[in-house]
Amino acid sequence: MNDSIRQYLERHGFGHFSPKAVLFDMDGVLYDSMPHHAIAWQESMKRFGIDMTEADAYATEGARGIDTIRQIATRQGKEVSLEEAQRMYDEKSRIFHEMPDAPIFDGVFDMMEKIKRAGMTVNVVTGSGQRPLIRRLLNDFGRYLDENHIPTAYDVKRGKPYPDPYLMGLQKAGNLKPFEGIVVENAPLGVRSGVSAGIFTVAINSGPLPDKALLDEGADVLYDKMTQFRNEWDNFI
């Protein structure tokens, strides 16, 4: 048995590990989209008098957009209602969708093919609920994925870092137990979400954050690229 799996079982008190579903985050895991998101966040928030840095965008990635806005605003002494936050997020989304499509990371299609061949389901758990992004997911990965396996921000009241998104992912994957899933994340808040849901969590550090930022949140294993995870996939099934 893989050492990381053994440690995971011991930490959570589970008797066995029998994955039936892989739950991917979207941005920064499937698509190299975080640089675009960082720009869209900075430009949109500036229009509303809120200062948001590139580091803020990466640190809060994975959370629901309206939660990110209210958190950053509060930190700067500003109160923002849910309605105002939604308008601000809509502007951020508009700017993002004017940018070129972000490329799919190397190894993603190979990874999904391996998952399918293993008899497992592919799922995408995203803090977004934007229809254009959902349509792109289905267009790009429709061979492996259907909309019933894409829980979004609108399926939960609490987004990442709470466990709710990944618990919803398990539910949509077939009412699975935590030891029947594998989470693949790139962001500290997302890793915390997967770990707090009790799911084996793989971190792919595709951005500028130090590895420690992901490991400190409890990632069970960490890779620099999806291709590394792909190459070691057989160790997890």
Same-domain status, 65 and 134? no
Same-domain status, 120 and 59? no
Measure the CA–CA gap between 163 and 161, rounded to whole angstroms. Answer: 6
In a domain, residue 71? The reply is yes
In the predicted structure, residue 151 carries a pLDDT above the cut 70:
yes
In the predicted structure, residue 1 carries a pLDDT above the cut 80:
no
Last residue of a domain, one of 79, 97, 115: 97
Last residue of a domain, one of 97, 119, 144: 97
Q: What is the pLDDT of residues 134-148, one digit of tens each?
A: 899 999 999 999 999
What pLDDT sits at residue 130? 74
The mean pLDDT value for 162-168 works out to 96
Same-domain status, 149 and 187? yes
Structural tokens at position 72? 């950053």
Same-domain status, 225 and 129? yes
In a domain, residue 102? The reply is no
Residue 174's pLDDT band, with cuts at 50, 70 and 90, is very high
Same-domain status, 121 and 82? no
Note the helical H segments in the chain: 3-12, 34-47, 54-59, 65-75, 82-97, 108-117, 131-141, 164-172, 188-196, 211-215, 226-231
Q: What is the pLDDT of residues 28-51, one digit of tens each?
A: 999 999 899 899 999 999 999 999
The mean pLDDT value for 89-108 works out to 93
Residue 83 neighbours by CB under 8 Å, 6+ apart:
none
CATH number, position 78: 1.10.150.240
Percentage of the chain lying above the pLDDT 70 cut: 99
Structural tokens at position 159? 């987004």
Last residue of a domain, one of 70, 97, 124: 97
For the chain, how many residues are written?
Answer: 237
What pLDDT sits at residue 63? 81
Domain range for 79 is 34-97
Same-domain status, 46 and 120? no
Task: Assign 182 to helix, strand or coil.
Answer: strand
In the predicted structure, residue 129 carries a pLDDT above the cut 80:
no
Quote the number of domains for the chain: 2
Same-domain status, 125 and 158? yes
